[in-house]
Structure 1
Amino acid sequence: MKNISHCIGLIVLLLLINNVASAQRRQRSTDSTRIRRSWRLANDTTRFRRRLPDSIRTRRWDYALVVTAGGGLSYYATHLGIPSNLERPRISRFGSPASLRVMWYPDHRLRVGLESGWTTMYNYRGTVAGERTHVYVSAVPILLVFSMPLAWIRGIERNLVRRMAVTVGTGAYVNHSQLDYGGRVLSSTVSPGWMAGVSYTYPIGRRFRVAGELKWFDAVAVKNAAFTAEAQLVWRAFSW
């Protein structure tokens, strides 16, 4: 009887040891599965981040050279001096501006670059002493510009503001005047000036975006100022 009891006790002990070992193997298997799953999720997240469009990546080591070209409609928004002897005047404050901007995007929010282009100020026509006359005034800005996106503003990252940016610039305007009256007279004047604008950008690919921008141009010395609305194509030319 003692031998039988010893055998039964040994069998029970072996069963307990086997159950404990099985439980440990199951636990190790579960932990290993969790680790593999976490590793896959981490890799998937990394891959997802790498697949993000170039326009919304936020890696702080990502530098870029960005070229923006655009055109639209301008409106001369300051006092327009017309000769008092001009008869039957026809005045136009509207024009068709074009702009080209090259910006450097560093690893912080403040971007810097250069902007130039061509902006219509105004034109008018009429008659003086019975002879037709036409005056046309335009300006070429040469500006150092600074831009800052507004996505950093807390609490509104997911609304309209997250794709907006504010741009300011300072430099010079080359003002061109053309007078047609008994011949053609061309003249140019350089004036200091500034610019301010706000834009909204939408990505359409890894390196391209479309944008709309409202700008105010002001050539201070000659008192020429215009409000412009432009549609733009934004190209991320180089990234490193």
Structure 2
Amino acid sequence: MNICSQIKVGFVILMVCSRIVAAQSNRSNDSTVAKRDPYTIVVTVGGGLSYYSTHLGVPPGLEQVDVSRFGVPATVRAMWYPDHRLRLGLETGWTTMYSYRALANGQRSQVYVSAIPMLLVFSMPLAWLSGTERSLARRLSLTGGTGVYRIQSRLNYAGIVDARRYSLGWMMAGAYTQPIGRRIRVATELKWYDATATEDAVFGLQLQVVWRAFSW
């Protein structure tokens, strides 16, 4: 075999090897693109202060009425964080709606109303506003949901009478989350609960602990 033939054979071998390497590289890149980010279950527990923000209907004929619109709510939320922005979860807890004391026919009486939300919630971070790692937008999120409220009322007047009813409703919230460890974060959340059927609504401010329970 002369030198020209050897050069041609070597060139062909070089071309075949380069195509094999390119094909393997493309397959590796495709597998990297297809690989998803981890899924995470995140549990949030919090409490704070609430304010009953709608009209409070006190029955006529009562005297020395003392109304309290403030309460101390508690929240438990479990969220699934997939490898995209939209998150899905469940929320429950307990919140005071309102209470009042009064004199009815000269006898002391008291009414206390609270609610237990049972909601399907969705959450989304505002990360698309900025791509930098330490930007404020990456720590802000919006949450909304809908479901059922269990409204509980207690009347203390010549005995105790408890009543319960269910109301459809919704919730909206905005939160700021601050990392303090690899799996623990703290958050401040402004929240609006609205039980539409009973026309009860509460505005709340909560301090929350956010725990990344596990990932897969």
Under a length normalisation based on structure 1, what TM-score does the superposition of the two structures give? 0.74
State the SS of the aligned residue for 2:138. helix
Residue ranges of structure 1 left out of the alignment (5+ in a row): 1-58
**Residues 41, 213 of structure 2: 8 Å contact kept:** yes
Q: 1:228 is matched with which residue: 204, 209, 212?
A: 204
CA–CA distance in structure 2, aligned partners of residues 74 and 201 of structure 1:
20
Distance in 1 (alpha carbons) for counterparts of 2:36 and 2:179: 19
Question: In the TM superposition, what is the alpha-carbon distance from 1:103 to its structure 2 partner?
Answer: 0.2
Q: Which residue in the other structure is 1:13 paired with?
A: none
State whether structure 2 residue 149 is matched by structure 1 residue 173.
yes
8 Å CA contact retained: 2:130, 2:138: no
Residues 162 and 97 (structure 1 numbering): CA distance in 2 closer, same or farther, change over 3 Å?
same
Higher strand share: 2
How far 1:159 moved relative to its partner?
3.8
Give the number of aligned pairs: 182
Q: Which deviations, in whole Å up to 9, do the C-alpha atoms of 1:20-45 show, x marking residues without a partner? A: xxxxxxxxxxxxxxxxxxxxxxxxxx
Distance in 1, matches of 2:138 and 2:203, equals 24
Q: Note the C-alpha offset of 1:152.
A: 1.4
Partner of 1:120, secondary structure, is strand
C-alpha distance in 2 between matches for 1:162 and 1:60: 20
What is the distance in 1 between the residues matched to 2:64 and 2:211?
A: 46
Q: Which runs of 4+ in 1 moved over 4 A?
A: 155-158
Q: What is the rounded CA distance, in whole Å, between the counterparts of 2:181 and 2:130 in structure 1? A: 26
In the alignment, what sits opposite 1:238? Answer: 214
More helix by share: 1
Q: CA deviation at 1:154?
A: 3.8
Percent sequence identity is 61
| Structure 2 gaps, min length 5 | 1-34
CA distance in structure 2 between the partners assigned to 1:95 and 1:60 by the alignment: 43
Mark the structure with the bigger radius of gyration: 1
Question: Is the CA contact 1:151–1:157 (under 8 Å) kept in the aligned structure 2?
Answer: no
Residue of structure 1 aligned with 2:75, choices 88, 99, 107 = 99
Aligned to 1:185: 161
For 2:63, the equivalent position in structure 1 comes to: 87
Give per-residue Cα distances to partners, 1:154-209, cap 9 Å, x unaligned: 47875432200000000000000000000000000000000000000000100000
Q: Does residue 194 of the first structure (1) align with residue 170 of the second (2)? A: yes
2:45 is aligned to 69
Does 2:190 match 1:217? Answer: no
Q: Which residue is 1:56 aligned to?
A: none
Quick one: which amino acid aligns to residue 60 of structure 2?
S
Letter of the structure 1 residue corresponding to residue 197 of structure 2: A
TM-score by length of 2: 0.82
1:113-152 to 2 correspondence within 5 Å?
A: 113-152=89-128
The CA distance in 2 between the partners of 1:173 and 1:197, in whole Å, is 17
Tell me, yes or no, if the aligned pair for 1:60 and 1:108 is still in contact at 8 Å. no
- Cα distance in 2 for partners of 1:81, 1:157 equals 49
